[in-house]
């Protein structure tokens, strides 16, 4: 079985995003997780700061365990 690397095209095989595909943005080998574009999207509430004067709610990809991913054909 080939390892999942950055920029690979992967498909979710279980969970809420089952069947969706996306490109791997980051691999976290210590926790055996990966961040995939368009998969496991969560809402992140951001406080107003000097860097972000608007604040608000943003969508962000959370990590997903690599056992729930397989390389897309």
Domains of the chain, each with CATH number or no CATH: 9-71 (2.30.30.30)
pLDDT bin (cut points 50, 70, 90) of residue 1 is: low
pLDDT bin (cut points 50, 70, 90) of residue 9 is: very high
Strand order across the beta sheet in which 9-12 lies: 63-65, 33-36, 21-28, 9-12, 69-71
* CA diameter of the chain: 47
**Residue matched to tokens 């991913």:** 69
pLDDT at residue 7 is higher than 60 = yes
What pLDDT sits at residue 73? 79
**Residue matched to tokens 């990809």:** 61
* Residue range 21-57, pLDDT digits in tens: 999 999 999 999 999 999 999 999 999 999 999 999 9
């Amino acid at each position: 079985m080939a390892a999942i690397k950055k920029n690979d095209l992967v498909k979710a095989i279980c969970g809420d995003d089952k069947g969706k595909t996306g490109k791997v943005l980051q691999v976290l080998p210590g926790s055996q997780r990966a961040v995939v574009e368009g998969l496991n999207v969560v809402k992140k509430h951001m406080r107003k700061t000097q860097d972000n004067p608007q604040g608000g709610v943003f969508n962000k990809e959370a990590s997903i365990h690599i056992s729930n991913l397989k390389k897309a054909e």
